[in-house]
Chain A
């Protein structure tokens, strides 16, 4: 099939969860998918307002793509859960991008709002497909194929995170076979927004550092909604952000056992994270602490990773002292 054009996908925000789905969908419709590069060590952030780092990165990545792509894919993510919503910044993301691009590039910004049938994942993608000239039938077939690929992508998740270098985690190729099994690694759960966990420009590739320290990384990606719900059902107040709910639910899931330690990666400027931290601290206090070592790491725009590595090293020493 001849190539219809290029869809640019910025490597930011929910790229770090849904990229395989997005990529396969557009490729199935005959478009070539291109992805923005990394920020690199010397990368310069491009932004309009002093937002959180992940949002600034979205604009930076879009700028990188705008002259190379026919369309940018920046969906309007209102809700990724049947009853809870995303941070308002996600809702405005396509508008912020449009403003920054000065209308120089077409933006595919169909709404995804899983609370409403009209905006289900499938329907949103069908509309994107329509804008690209695909019939409903073609769109449906592409989406089914994409979903199938996404499911198989998710299946090898833990191996993928632990065996691949960070920049390859979201490539579609299957993870490599284990080279050698290191002496019993510490199982450490890393919890946070997907982009905090996997964007190396946000977290200075803290996961690779953790792996080098002999940690096996466990992430909330594998948890079912049921497991998360069980942890947050008794809250005095419902957390209405889906990401916040997921984070708190998985934190307490891991803090109740099964891992050697739990690390919560937060964004310095993130309003949701600021509230969640306080919330988690209070809940832990009520419960009289946690038997599992717990570390909160705050990610900001500091260029050095010293602050992060020092804390993680010390955390590993804590885990070691506990074990022996």
Chain B
């Protein structure tokens, strides 16, 4: 019986999980990308392999998240799945009675509606990133507090101020204004949490029927201020899964376990020791002017993508056109 590796490469963080045949988590990791997803994936693989017991066999790999294709090319994935499906799979197995999932990550926020254990509707934030993790990060940095303190601080708010939550640019201006007229940091942070929650409910969840039980996951679920604001606004408790930050990766791992590949495409944990890089060029053969990307592992072109006509994709090495 093999183990399964799920990799979720988001815009801000990379999450990895290895589960065994009984869905028990054997190893996991959560690291920041710092804008370099390839390095983050390699680093993640190294950590995972050090946490796994010797001789653990990986029977399949699945990738998800906004860099799922890049990750799939790099590690050799058997399943590549969008994050909406991955997140819902993780929840359905763990909380079959759940009817709403809030997932707020680094740059995306989504709502997924479940009825009788099946996804019936979903929505993601559109052009606006207000209310996502990266904005909270940015504001915490501006106020000189760590993102971990952010949540506790907002719980101490006595009179949360009103902050424009529609747009991050306005929110920031508004917060600076409040700070300059003398409101306490706790009240400002508390107000920000409230307004982000309102923004999320009014934008992402607009027109959706939000029924309890509600599961809240993604990196932002760590923020107690946001949790409290949600609970007050919805007048219902939230279920925060134990591995709320890893749910995408858990879902991916479950998906590949379900798919049960006969022979995995996984390139092995040794990948973390090999030099990996990408390089891009603009193809000038037709009007499309595709930006083609080449993935190099050990100085060898292992995969190519970005070409609409798939000319390069097909000509670059055996077995790479897979994902």
Which residues from chain A sit less than 8 Å from chain B, CB to CB?
37-38, 40-42, 268, 281-282, 284-285, 289, 293-294, 296, 298, 300, 302, 306-307, 310-311, 313-314, 317-318, 321-322
* A-B CB contact pairs (8 Å), 16 listed: A41-B288, A268-B126, A282-B207, A293-B120, A294-B121, A296-B123, A298-B126, A306-B66, A310-B82, A311-B124, A313-B82, A314-B85, A317-B82, A317-B84, A317-B119, A318-B122
B148 within 8 A of A: no
With contacts A281-B206, A311-B124 taken as known, whether A42 is within 8 angstroms of B289 at the C-beta atoms is yes
Q: Are B126 and A317 in contact (CB under 8 A)?
A: no
B262 within 8 A of A: no
User: A residues within 8 A CB of B119?
Assistant: 314, 317-318, 321
CB distance from B318 to the nearest CB of A (A): 23
CA distance A132 to B252 in the complex (A): 63
B209 within 8 A of A: yes
B181 within 8 A of A: no
Q: Are A321 and B127 in contact (CB under 8 A)?
A: no
The residue of chain A having its C-beta at the shortest distance from the C-beta of B122 within the complex is: A314
CA distance A40 to B81 in the complex (A): 28
The residue of chain B having its C-beta at the shortest distance from the C-beta of A280 within the complex is: B207
Q: Are B66 and A268 in contact (CB under 8 A)?
A: no
CB distance from A240 to the nearest CB of B (A): 23
CB distance from A192 to the nearest CB of B (A): 15
CA distance A317 to B83 in the complex (A): 11
Q: Are A37 and B127 in contact (CB under 8 A)?
A: no
B291 within 8 A of A: yes
Q: Are B209 and A314 in contact (CB under 8 A)?
A: no
B182 within 8 A of A: no
User: A residues within 8 A CB of B291?
Assistant: 41
CA distance A310 to B126 in the complex (A): 12
User: B residues within 8 A CB of A322?
Assistant: 118
User: A residues within 8 A CB of B83?
Assistant: 310
Q: Are A310 and B66 in contact (CB under 8 A)?
A: yes
B35 within 8 A of A: no
Which residues from chain B sit less than 8 Å from chain A, CB to CB?
66, 81-85, 118-124, 126-127, 206-207, 209, 282, 287-291
User: B residues within 8 A CB of A318?
Assistant: 119-122
CA distance A302 to B84 in the complex (A): 21
Q: Which one of A37, A284, A313, A317 has the greatest number of beta carbons of chain B within 10 Å? A: A317
CA distance A79 to B120 in the complex (A): 38
CA distance A284 to B208 in the complex (A): 10
> 18 more A-B contacts (CB under 8 A) besides A268-B127, A293-B120?
A40-B288, A42-B282, A42-B289, A289-B209, A300-B126, A302-B127, A306-B66, A307-B124, A310-B66, A311-B82, A313-B85, A314-B82, A314-B84, A314-B85, A314-B119, A314-B122, A317-B82, A317-B84
User: B residues within 8 A CB of A298?
Assistant: 126-127
Q: Are A41 and B290 in contact (CB under 8 A)?
A: yes
User: B residues within 8 A CB of A317?
Assistant: 82, 84-85, 119
CA distance A290 to B15 in the complex (A): 35
Q: Which one of B84, B118, B206, B291 has the greatest number of beta carbons of chain A within 10 Å? A: B84
User: A residues within 8 A CB of B289?
Assistant: 40-42
CA distance A314 to B66 in the complex (A): 13
CA distance A272 to B66 in the complex (A): 31
User: B residues within 8 A CB of A307?
Assistant: 124
User: A residues within 8 A CB of B209?
Assistant: 285, 289
CA distance A317 to B282 in the complex (A): 34
CB distance from B5 to the nearest CB of A (A): 21
CA distance A310 to B10 in the complex (A): 13
The residue of chain A having its C-beta at the shortest distance from the C-beta of B87 within the complex is: A314
The residue of chain A having its C-beta at the shortest distance from the C-beta of B291 within the complex is: A41
User: B residues within 8 A CB of A300?
Assistant: 126-127
User: A residues within 8 A CB of B207?
Assistant: 281-282, 284-285
